[in-house]
Structure formats: C-alpha cells, structure tokens
Structure 1
Amino acid sequence: MPRDPLDSIAKIESFIISIPRDTPYLGPLREGEFINEKGYLIRNGNRSIYPSSDLSVIIKVTAESGKVGWGETYGIAAPEAVKAIIDNLLAPTLIGKPVGQPAVMFEDMYDMMRVRGFFGGYYVDAIAGIDIALWDLFGKCTNLSISELLGGRRHHTLPAYVSGLPRATLQERCDMAQDWVAKGYRAIKFAAAVSDDGIVTEMAALREAVGPGVDLMVDLHWKFEASEAIRLIRRLEEHNLYFAEAPCQPEDIEGQARVARGIGVPLALGEEWRTVYEVRPRLTAATCGIIQPEIGHTGITSFQQIGHMAQAFHIKIIPHASISVGIFMAASLQATAALQRVPYHEYQHSIFDRNLRFVTGDMACAEGHYTIPTGPGLGVEPTEELFQYVVAE
C-alpha cells in the first residue's frame, strides 16, 4: 500500500456520550408525554422520538505519528447502532490508509454498502462521524483549518438564528424571544410541535412581541398534507414569515413541490438528507428555496457537495444544528464558512451554550453571531470532562 508522507491511520475508536438535562429537548413534557424505560419520549405534536438526555457519538482517529482527529455524528436515537457500524464495518477498513485523503475514504466507505441499499440512515451517519475526524486529522497534519482545506474561509463570523423557545406557555415563549432580541439576535424559529395555542396564534404573538425588524421562522415538523400546509403558511405570511420548514412528510417530494409553488416565502428542507443523491431529485423538482444540511448526517465531504449543488440551483444554505457536544458544530461552522449564500446558521442555544464547556478553543455564539473556531482542523478538541459521560459498554 502506498504510504502518505503526511501520516497513516493507526486506530479508530468510538464513544457514546449521554449528558443528562433537566428539561427535555423542545421544552417541558406536555400532557400524555412521558420518558420511557430506555430514556426516550415521543412528542405528541409531531409523533417524533427524542432522547431525554443529550446523546451523541464521538469518534477518535489516531495516526501513526500520534496525532489525533476528532469527529462526531448524529446519535440521538439508538446510538449503539452507529457505534456498531463504525467499530465492526468501517474502522477496520481504514487502518493503514493515508491521512490526507478524507474525500477518497468517504467515497470508499459509501461504496462498501451501496449495493445493499444503504444510501442513508445510520450507515451514512457513521461515515459522517469518521469523515469529520479524518478532516480534523488532515488539518492538524497540514496546520490548516478545515475552511482553508476546503478552499478558503469566506466568513469569519456567521449570523445565528435562535432555534426554539423551550418554555411551557406562549407568554413565556414571547418573553424569551424578547430576551434574545435584547441580546442582539435578529432571527428566531419557533416549533409547531409545541405551539399549544395554535401555530397562527403563536406566530402573531411572537411578531407582536419582537416587532417588525426580526426574522421569524417556523418548523412545521412534517405535520401536514400539502394543501393544509399551503393554507397555513399563507396565513403565517401575513405576519412576515421568513421561511417555513418541513411542512410535509420528508418522503413526499410531490407534496413539497406543491407547497413551494403555492406559498410566497421560501420553503426550507433538508435536515434529514445525507448525500447529493437524496438532494438532487428534490432540487430538480423545485421543492425548496433554502436547504438545511445537518453535518452530523453528512460529514464534511458530503456537506460540501450538497452546498455546492445548492449554489448551482441558486438556493440559499442555512445549516441545521442538532444535539451536539460541540465537535460537529465546529465542523459545521468550518464547512459553512467556505460556502456562499449563507444568510444564517441554526443556533440550538439550549444545547450549544451548556455543552460548550466540553470543547476547547474559541468557538462561541453571542450578539447574534457565531465565532468560527480558529486553529488547525476543527479548531476544537473535547475536554477531559466530556469523557465522564461516556456510556459504558
């Protein structure tokens, strides 16, 4: 096997992380919602399952030189499945491979299972986590940031939109929105799944609370049939809606296209898409005006492919941010900084702020903007404190 002058991969390890939280993601439990014996809950508003703790999977790639790259993947449901794929299928095939070829290794890992239909789901999530670690390691070997490795940093900060208002009542959510505006944020997204007083009522109340100068978005959580969604979004437009996210079931390409044609604001889609093979038919069908890639699903290699494809369709990119201990958030900021047409990046404040202590570096979010971490690779590394939350096998 040809040896890369930079270094070669010696070891790959994965760790499941579970960080307890007092209030579940999206806010307090509603009537009929409960945490089951495995630590998960189902939200009545969108019938989706969530963990009661912050769950994630961390990947450590060690080179023969001793240099280390860190990755993280989407692990909020059954992270054991992702870990098994990494440990048993992917990691053994990469030992001895040259460090400086993360995109090649992404393609090789993807090809290993594509004939069995695994073009999405946990298999690609596992690839995504390793891919982030490989790019981080490559950056450390070259002393370049990931933004630089991807061709250059266009943005040194990124506007952040506040995602979610996890309070029990509408008045409390309006008060919380006003607090964020006072801190310098100019964009807020609310969640239809917990809009107990009605989605239109929530939108109207939030607009009154924050005034005309703040961009308001809504996440509709795949709740509606296309005609229902069009009628609802049209009513929200009266309150100057910035975008509507995920109105129809994600597999309903025709419904998404109908909604996009029938409304006067951009439709935002894509947090669940992992590769350009999922993105391309949806863009050619004109399903959205904003794409929301989630780097915990895509990794850096696929994230960039999706970002460049979106730019070819003249579509804006507003990356999604899920539960993260901070590693893939750094990756998302680094990769996003190398793209054009990025008006915002999602800011999961109830997760990002409290988990920032688990990474080193200067990554931050304040006064309406993300600070993109500086330094080689991701610009962050996990702290020792994080490993107190590793789930024992």
Structure 2
Amino acid sequence: MSNIKITSVDVGLSAFSLPDLGLDPSGFSLIYEPGGKKTVKAFSVQINTNHGITGEFVGGDAVGFSQLKKFVDHVVGKNPLERELIYNDAKRCLRKFDKMGMGMIDIPLWDLAGKLYGCSVSELLGGYRKTLPTYASTMSGDRAGGLDSPEAFADFATQCKEMGYKGYKIHIWEDYSINELVSTILKVRQAVGDGFPLMIDPACKLRTFTEVLAVGQACDEAQYLWLEDAYRDSGVSTTAHRMLRQRLKTPLLQTEHVRGLEEHVNFIVAEGTDFVRADAEYDGGITGAFKIAHASEGFGLDVEIHGPHPAHRQLMSAVRNSNFYEMSLVHPKTQQIGRCMDIYADDYRDGLDCIDKDGNVSVPTGPGMGVTYDWDFIKKHQISFESFT
C-alpha cells in the first residue's frame, strides 16, 4: 500500500485514580499507602490514515508529549510504513532534547503496520518467543505496614518465588539506612535460597560512592544477579560506573537514564555496565529499542527491557539476548502497579497475579500490539485532547 498516508494524529490525556497508593517523602517514588488515592495520567495516541487503519498507543508522559508536538506536523502526510525515515527525522528534530517523544509516535506506527498486514508486531519483528520468563520488581519500600522492613521484603520474595516468578528485584526506601539495606539484601537471599536470581535497584537514591560500595559488597556476599542505578549521578556517569565495576563482583545494570542507540553504545564501550537497559517509550520506540538490543548483542551483552507494557512483550519476543520480562511495581498488599489496567477492553493485564503457573507472561498474538483498548473508558477520563492534521 504505497499510497497509504497519515491523515491526522490524535492525542488525549486521561487521568485515573488508583487506590492504596501514594508517594514517598521525596515525592518521586510510588509507594503503598493504605487508604490513599493516587492520580496517574496517561496519554493516548491514535495515528489515523486514509485507509481507515489506526495505530494506537496508551502511555508516555508530559515531557514526551511536549517533544512530540515539535515534530508531529512533519509526520502528517507521511507513509506510516516508513518508520525508519520517521525515526531518523524525529531524532534530528529533537537533537537538542532527550528524544522521549519519539516513542509516542513509533510505537503506534508499529501497531498500525501489524493491523495493516494482519499480524502481531512480534511477527513483524521476527519474534519466536511465545511466553516470557518474568521477575517480580517491587514497589519502593514504605513505612505503612507493607514493604516496611528487611523481613517484609524477604517474606514477599518467598511469596513471589512460590508463585513461580523467575527472579525478584528490590526497590529501596527513600529514608534508607545502609545497615537496613545490607540486612535486607542478606535476608532476602536467606529466604529464597541459593540460585534464585535477585536484583536490587536503589533508583539513584544512594548519596555517595561509599554507600554504593557497601550495598554492592553485600550484593557480592549474597550473589545478586545485578545492581542497578545505585546512586545520584542519575545513572549517567560512565566513569563512576566503570570504577564501581572494578571494585565489585556483582554485575551492574545501567542505561535506563541515557537515551537512544548512540548513548547506549557509548556507555557499553566505556565499560560502564554489564547488562544494558532499554525501553521502547524512552529510547525511540520499538525501532530504537530494537536497535539497542542488536547493538548489545554485538558486544555480547544482554539487554533487559524496562517495565511492563504490550509493546515490551512484542519487542522481547524477538530479542534473543534478554532474560526477563519486568513485572513492576508489585506489592504484597495491593494489586495496583501504578498503571491503570482498566484501559484494556480485553483480558490483557500486568500485575502481581498476571503470570502463569510457570512464571511466564504470554505475548499477545492479535494484529499490531495484540490488545484492544477501551476507548469509552479512556475518553470518559480524558482531561485534554489535541488533533494534529
């Protein structure tokens, strides 16, 4: 269909209220708050064409949308199948910025292509993995009777292992102490036994290199699979992380907070990480994240996809060098993960109870992303809307 053209791009913003959630004292991390209500927002993107086929995506954030508006007029009138051209044009347009807006266009373009050809994005990518081994990635520690102690993290790790999860990752407290973190690291290992993959992600909360060394040395003792985004460089210093790698046995997982193919490769070449992180929303869509996966493969490294989403299931299905689907942010006392699941009209869900008995999630097989959005629900909660023609 060489004559297919994009006629308009519709972008809405919806707000959803989720129970028993709040923010930690910094105001930056999601935590369990019994009786609380947290408003979460999500953008909805619909790319319309002259053939009546629409590419859809729900996600993104305000920063991404502000960047999308800088190049979206350039997209209208283009052939939606020329994703590589649109990717490179958007990248040049956003060269002064972090390029977060690219994913909000690229992901629905892949959805559109799958619908046009009557196949899943996985099939378009050459995917072969039908189910994906999944690890439990916790909500940040709280002080509200949930993940409020080393013992609570250990008990939840045991629960997740018994449910079938293939691994368990700790997100720490805002008001941490090093002694409490070291205790948590060791108690979680003791609870699940040897050989079960454990990870820890301080989410850039640790204040000094000294604190990171203490946490990393505890990970060494407990044989953790990786240490991720440990301290307040915000995860971008190749020099600091190379120095850290030289002092620890535990592998590092970095690059969640650098954007795009080139910066990921720079981080790898600088020997700043052992595992590579990629995210279709953050890294130029499925097009960009797939490039990162292949670049990592060329260096002999694994790429771990960040967070749960239909696009990430489709992407991971076609990536050999990826170990786990991340089920975040799970908690023992709530099914909420900080994302509204009522946006789906079908049975697609992410959450603590959304793995099968073998600890896997399935890759949707329908056209495009393989999910059906509940547009009545999404639009009922819409607080703004713009159409670009």
Give the TM-score band, short-chain normalised: 0.7 to 0.9
Q: 1:369 to 1:43 in 2, by over 3 A?
A: closer
Higher strand share: 2
The amino acid of 1:200's aligned partner reads: V
Q: Which has the higher contact order (CA 8 A, sep 6+)?
A: 2
Inter-CA distance 354–97: structure 2 relative to 1 (3 Å threshold)? closer
Helix, strand or coil for the counterpart of 1:295?
coil
The corresponding residue for 1:379 is 370
- Kept in 2: contact 1:361–1:373 (CA 8 A): no
Q: CA RMSD in A?
A: 2.6
Please give the alpha-carbon distance, in whole angstroms, between the structure 2 residues aligned to 1:307 and 1:43.
27
Q: Secondary structure at the match of 2:321?
A: coil
Once the two structures are TM-superposed, the CA of residue 153 in structure 1 deviates from its matched residue by: 1.1
CA contact (8 A) 1:44 1:193 kept: no
Matched, 1:149 2:141: no
Measured in 1, the distance between the counterparts of 2:80 and 2:139 equals: 42
- 1:298-338 deviations in Å (ceiling 9; x for gaps): 2111101111111111111111117xxxxxx1111111111
In structure 1, the residue corresponding to 2:135 is in which secondary structure? strand
Q: Is the CA contact (8 Å cut-off) linking 1:318 and 1:344 kept in structure 2? A: yes
Paired position in structure 1 for 2:110: 135
Task: Structure 1: give runs of 5+ residues left out of the alignment.
Answer: 35-40, 46-50, 323-328
Assess, with a 3 A threshold, how the Cα gap between structure 1 residues 172 and 69 changes in structure 2: closer, same or farther: same
Pick the aligned partner of 2:274 from 282, 289, 293. 289
Alpha-carbon distance between aligned partners in 1 of 2:299 and 2:20, rounded to the nearest angstrom: 40
Contact 1:165–1:176 at 8 Å: present in 2 too?
no
In 1, Cα distance between equivalents of 2:339 and 2:29: 23
1:204 aligned partner, one-letter code = L
Which is worse superposed, 177-186 or 255-264? 177-186
Indicate which of 281, 287, 308 corresponds to 1:301.
287
Matched residues in 1 for 2:30 and 2:289: separation? 31
Q: Distance in 1 between matches of 2:158 and 2:42?
A: 31
**1:98 CA displacement:** 1.0
Please say if residues 6 and 99 of structure 1, whose CA atoms lie closer than 8 Å, have aligned partners that are also in contact.
no
Deviation per CA, 1:121-142, whole angstroms, max 9, x where unpaired?
Answer: xxx2221111101111111111
Q: Secondary structure at the match of 2:67?
A: helix
Q: Deviations over 1:24-54 (max 9, x none)?
A: 3xxx655xx28xxxxxx24599xxxxx9433
**Counterpart residue number, 2:315:** 335
Give the whole-Å Cα distance in 1 for the aligned partners of 2:50 and 2:23.
48
* Greater helix content: 1
1:272 aligns with 2:257: yes
| Structure 2 partner of 1:100 | 81
Mean CA deviation greater in 220-229 or 367-376: 220-229
CA distance in 1 between partners of 2:268 and 2:361 (Å): 28
Alignment check: 8 A CA contact 1:18 1:391 kept: yes
**Residue in structure 2 matched with residue 326 of structure 1 by the alignment:** none
Is residue 16 of structure 1 aligned with residue 13 of structure 2? yes
Query: Please, which of 365, 370, 388 is the counterpart of residue 361 of structure 2?
Result: 370
1:363: how far off? Answer: 4.1
C-alpha distance 254-84 of structure 1, shift in aligned 2 (>3 A): closer
The alpha carbon displacement at 1:372 in A equals: 0.8
Contact 1:73 1:297 in 2 (8 A): no
1:310 maps onto 2:296 in alignment = yes
CA distance in structure 1 between the partners assigned to 2:338 and 2:131 by the alignment: 17
- TM-score (normalizing by structure 2): 0.84
The 3-state SS of whatever aligns with 1:20 is: strand
Cα distance change on mapping 1:314 and 1:366 into 2, 3 Å: same
Unaligned runs of 5+ in 2: 32-36, 141-145, 331-335
- State how far apart, in whole Å, the 2-side matches of 1:340 and 1:195 are: 38
Between the two proteins, the alignment pairs up a number of residues equal to 356
